[in-house]
Amino acid sequence: MATPVTMPVLGLTMEEGTIAQWLKREGEPVEKDEPLLLVETDKATVEVPAPASGVLRRIVVPPGQTVPVKTVIAEIAAPDEPVAAPPPSAPPAAGPGGAPQVAAPARPLTPGPAAAGGDGGGSRVFVSPRARRRARELGLDPTTLRGSGPRGRVVEEDVLAAAAVITTAPAERVLATPLARKLAEEHGLDLAAVAGSGPGGRITQDDVRRALEERAAVAAPPPAAQAPVAPLSRLRRLTAERMAASARSVARVTLHLEADFTEAARFRQQLAPEFARLGVPRLPWDALLVKAAGLALAEHPRLLAQWVEGAGLRQPSGVHVGVAVALEPEGLVVPVLRDADTRSLRALTADLLTLVEKARAGRLLPDEMQGGTFTITNLGAYRIDGFTPIINPPETAILGVGRIADQPAVVDGQLAIRTRCTLSLSFDHRVVDGAPAAAFLRRLAELLERPYALLGI
């Protein structure tokens, strides 16, 4: 029997995914757990393994198309097994009253028994499987349509007729995602003039962006000479949007502190061979910073609180520290190290090395980038002394780390060469005031200046 390949659920909040690339062609053999395709989510591009061995008999969803999780996207069968007819999609989860939950248009188009009251004010509406599947593709609620089939059953022709009404209706009835409608409204764009690329011609946010760009190009005078514009990757665009949103909404303040890393450098040099002997090949500076931040945050939990618009402050239950990893030119990803305050430095180091390797190979899972309560971003490798990092919402604070270098310093009244580093703490002043933030940064510096506390007391 053929094995269906479905859009996987790659995170607790994932609702849909985009087929980035099929790694196998139709008719090619596949082995179970062999990489089969790449799926692009809001967080990263993830390699999905084959669920069974056999032959990739049919690809249902082509590259570039976005579908809900658990949707059948391909089929794997034995080499001599015939291709079966495409199975009907599973009906969506039942909503209140037992009615299927399907995205509905702004207003019912052709009232059915449920909308008009029917013969009993609450009688059940019968919908054929083909009509239900077609309605889901077109973003219609089949229970709001009048059926022309036997005993009032809603059939596929009823759904197509309703969709035809939408395509000829005014702009307020044009099929469009909520984000597309909001973006069009903000820029005064008539959705009726926008071509939709989503299922059933639904207008997406990207369609609105393209229409706005085309409108701007027509209105602007032609440039004398202009370099071609390279399209943004999904990750690059998401990074830009989130950072811009953070800069607009967060009341950011940045504190700078110059810490003495002389003892930390000696500690790291002495500990690295022991870690290597225990199977951890390297001890990066970021591992020491994560452990120190975890201990300091446990002592200053106000830096963990998160602003909830219109509600107040939320206090997360754990200390989970993210480390920003640059993937040029795609953008930034932030893998998260869980329970940084209670786990050993060696365990955190091993996890950090694994997560950074997966990030650079494009194999991070969404769950490995979610749930962070504090972030560290390190630009020391680029000879940057200090900078103002942008907070990663919904977190309240982020630590910027500059270069770690030998510098002249006055120690006990004498000039000496010390290893120093500038730490920059950006925090949301809506959540925490300057004095508590400064106390946290001072404690963080103390732990790095006396690093043996990182091994546990």
Residue where a domain terminates, one of 169, 196, 211: 169
Contact 105, 95 (CB under 8 A): no
Say if 84 falls within a structural domain: no
Counting the structural domains of the chain, the total is 4
Residues 433 and 301 in one domain: yes
Residues 276 and 201 in one domain: no
- First and final CA of the chain: distance in angstroms? 59
Residues 337 and 418 in one domain: yes
Residues 178 and 137 in one domain: no
pLDDT of residue 287: 97
Q: Which of the following is catalytic: 190, 339, 406, 433?
A: 433
HSE on the CB side for 428, CA within 13 Å? 24
- Tell me, yes or no, if 433 is annotated catalytic: yes
Beta bridge partners of 424: 256, 400
Residues 152 and 297 in one domain: no
pLDDT of residue 164: 65
Residues 188 and 51 in one domain: no
Residue where a domain terminates, one of 184, 219, 254: 219
**C-alpha dist (Å) from residue 328 to 231, 232, 362:** 14, 12, 12
d(CA 73, CA 39): 11
Write the burial class of residue 372 (CB in 10 Å: 0-12 exposed, 13-18 middle, 19+ buried). buried
Segments of the chain scoring below 50 in pLDDT: 87-122, 168-172
Contact 436, 300 (CB under 8 A): yes
Residues 292 and 196 in one domain: no
Say if 303 falls within a structural domain: yes
Reading the block at residue 108, the tokens are 């019912």
pLDDT of residue 67: 87
Say if 227 falls within a structural domain: no
Q: Does residue 134 sit in helix, strand or coil?
A: helix
pLDDT of residue 334: 94
Residue where a domain terminates, one of 14, 45, 77: 77
Say if 384 falls within a structural domain: yes
- Tell me, yes or no, if 429 is annotated catalytic: yes
Residues 403 and 283 in one domain: yes
**Type of residue at 373:** T
Angle formed at CA 211 by CA 207 and CA 212, multiple of 5 degrees: 115
Contact 381, 364 (CB under 8 A): no
**C-alpha dist (Å) from residue 239 to 9, 35, 321:** 22, 27, 19
In this structure, the chain runs to a length of 457
Residues 257 and 135 in one domain: no
Contact 238, 246 (CB under 8 A): no
pLDDT of residue 154: 80
d(CA 130, CA 199): 16
Q: Supply the range of the domain harboring residue 125.
A: 96-169
Say if 401 falls within a structural domain: yes
pLDDT of residue 226: 63
pLDDT of residue 176: 78
CATH of the domain at 48: 2.40.50.100
> Which residue from 123, 126, 122, 117 is spatially nearest to 147, judged by alpha carbons?
126
Q: Which of the following is catalytic: 33, 187, 190, 429?
A: 429
Residues 190 and 284 in one domain: no
Q: Does residue 118 sit in helix, strand or coil?
A: coil
**Type of residue at 2:** A
Q: Does residue 445 sit in helix, strand or coil?
A: helix
The bridge status of strand 306-308 relative to strand 29-30 is unpaired
CATH of the domain at 202: 4.10.320.10
pTM: 0.57
Say if 85 falls within a structural domain: no
Residues 331 and 251 in one domain: yes
Q: Does residue 106 sit in helix, strand or coil?
A: coil
d(CA 353, CA 350): 5
Residues 294 and 338 in one domain: yes
CATH of the domain at 321: 3.30.559.10
pLDDT of residue 242: 78
Say if 89 falls within a structural domain: no
pLDDT of residue 111: 41
Say if 88 falls within a structural domain: no
